[in-house]
Amino acid sequence: MGNYTGVFDYKIETPVCNILIDFEQGSAEYFFSMVDRDRFVSVIVGAIKDSGYNDINLKIAIRIRPNDIMGVRRDIGDQHRNRPNEEIRHLSKSYKQAYVKSKEFLSGEYIVYIEFTETLRRYYIDIYNDTIRNNDMANANIRTFIDAIEGHFKTIYPDRLYGILAHEITHLWHMKKSKALKYASRNKRRFSKISGGIDIEVGAFNNVLFSYGKENFIIGLNEVIGSFRSMYVLFRKRFIDFTMQLCTEGMATFMELYATGKEIDDDKIFRDALETARELKDKFRIFLTDFEGIIGLIRRAHGQTREVGNFMPLVKRSRDQYELHCREINKFFEALNLGSYSIGLLIPVTLYLHSDHSVEEIGKMKPTHLIDEYCKVSTIMGRQPVVSTSHFHRGAFDVRDCITEFNRLRKGLKI
């Protein structure tokens, strides 16, 4: 992430909090030329007013470097003149438009970091690349084109920023109120103690497992076989993360709508969540198959090292199959992570629209209590819960059933 000055000298006072902003020199005027200041403040107030806190000194660090932005304009111009048919590559594949740091807000520091410069830079480049792909740049006046990009950015960015801002501010107070992080860390510690396993990433085995040398290859296989339990523990903990994220990301995504005054389309949110839950259920079946496939693959390869003379084909075949299984497993956990947003959103929406719970009450609920309350209200409404985590309810995607099946597979594989 970018470097910030650490000097929060731009102050805005509101009824619920003081807003202290870290602007780089000369960038406040540039920022508020794009973003309406009053609307900016009202969204912040809306995201905090139902939190139960009334003494927050909210700090917002906004990374804006006008010289960097002018540099992007120059880079696009140079690209168009010198390599007119080539796209511009991003410096990194992913980034965050805004974020908070858990260590800071757990210690009482309420800081939201906004990556304005990087967001604008990526927007410029994405629009330019799209235009190249559509063959629309041949006769374009580059200065007029870039001015049009910035004009469009000014139109759409503020509304996106308000939602992002409400989302991240919600994390600041909600993770404390709901004790979501404590829930996750407590359950992970307890599970590690019971299982005797440690965290270890499957992908990290690749360099050792597929070394070009028979002795190293066998050593790598032995190491992985000895770590099967740790692999199980790592994957099992992802379900704890999912339960926590249903609470945290669901509430933050809900506040994007609530604090910005956007329409809450209950039926659409339900349909989207249900579709996601059904997809996760299907992907979980594939995950079980691939987990079993990895275990079988390693055990077979270990046995075959004693039988083959030329072991290089075995190494290549094992590596290819192993990487295929890993990719499929990662797809499931990526889907699980993304699914926590759409499924999680439905939970506070249901409680807010169809029960007597206030926003503050919903924000105080611990993860498992929140999901149980959601399931109760859904049942009263005559809807099947989209997600569930206990044996008292049966959701379209039942986390408890997944854990039970995964544990049954572990026992069957004698891990």
Q: What is the pLDDT of residues 186-219, one digit of tens each?
A: 888 877 776 555 555 554 445 445 555 566 677 7
Q: Are residues 150 and 209 in the same domain?
A: no
pLDDT at 359: 94
Residue 189, classified by CB atoms within 10 Å of its CB into exposed (0-12), middle (13-18) or buried (19+), is exposed
Which comes out higher in pLDDT, residue 72 or 268?
A: 268
Q: Are residues 14 and 158 in the same domain?
A: yes
Q: Model confidence over 109-160: pLDDT tens digits?
A: 889 999 888 888 888 888 888 888 887 766 678 888 888 888 888 888 999 9
Whether 5 is covered by a domain: the verdict is no
Res. 235: pLDDT tops 50: yes
Distance, in Å, from the CA atom of 25 to the CA atom of 21, rounded to the nearest integer, reads 12
Which comes out higher in pLDDT, residue 23 or 163?
A: 163
Q: Model confidence over 5-49: pLDDT tens digits?
A: 678 889 999 888 889 998 876 688 888 988 999 999 999 999 988
Whether 191 is covered by a domain: the verdict is yes
Whether 1 is covered by a domain: the verdict is no
Domain-terminating residue out of 155, 177, 199: 177
Q: Are residues 308 and 226 in the same domain?
A: yes
Res. 170: pLDDT tops 60: yes
Model confidence at 313, pLDDT cuts 50, 70, 90, reads confident
Q: Model confidence over 66-100: pLDDT tens digits?
A: 777 888 888 888 888 888 778 888 766 667 889 99
Q: Are residues 399 and 335 in the same domain?
A: yes
Q: What percent of the chain has pLDDT over 70?
A: 88
pLDDT at 240: 92
Residue 248, classified by CB atoms within 10 Å of its CB into exposed (0-12), middle (13-18) or buried (19+), is buried
3-state secondary structure of 180: helix
Domain-terminating residue out of 107, 142, 177: 177
Whether 383 is covered by a domain: the verdict is yes
Q: Are residues 157 and 203 in the same domain?
A: no
Res. 275: pLDDT tops 90: yes
Model confidence at 1, pLDDT cuts 50, 70, 90, reads very low
Q: Are residues 405 and 283 in the same domain?
A: yes
pLDDT at 301: 80
Mean pLDDT computed over 168-197: 81
Q: What percent of the chain has pLDDT over 90?
A: 42
Q: Are residues 192 and 168 in the same domain?
A: no
Model confidence at 65, pLDDT cuts 50, 70, 90, reads confident
pLDDT at 304: 78
pLDDT at 293: 93
How many CA atoms lie less than 13 Å away from 415 in the CB half-sphere? 27
Q: Are residues 150 and 80 in the same domain?
A: yes
pLDDT at 2: 47
Whether 3 is covered by a domain: the verdict is no
Tell me how far apart the 2 most distant CA atoms of the chain are, in Å.
77
Q: Model confidence over 249-267: pLDDT tens digits?
A: 999 999 999 999 999 999 9
Which amino acid appears at position 269 of this protein? I
pLDDT at 63: 81
Q: Are residues 146 and 32 in the same domain?
A: yes
Mean pLDDT computed over 275-303: 92
Whether 2 is covered by a domain: the verdict is no
| Domain span holding position 358 | 180-412
pLDDT at 204: 46
pLDDT at 267: 96
Whether 278 is covered by a domain: the verdict is yes
Tally of domains in the chain: 2
pLDDT at 138: 64
User: How many angstroms separate the Cα of 158 from the Cα of each of 34, 63, 64, 119, 384?
Assistant: 7, 15, 15, 12, 37
Q: Are residues 164 and 199 in the same domain?
A: no
Q: Are residues 165 and 184 in the same domain?
A: no
Q: Are residues 295 and 168 in the same domain?
A: no
Domain-terminating residue out of 157, 177, 197: 177
DSSP 88-114: PPPSSS---SEE--HHHHHTT--EEEE
Mean pLDDT computed over 271-281: 98
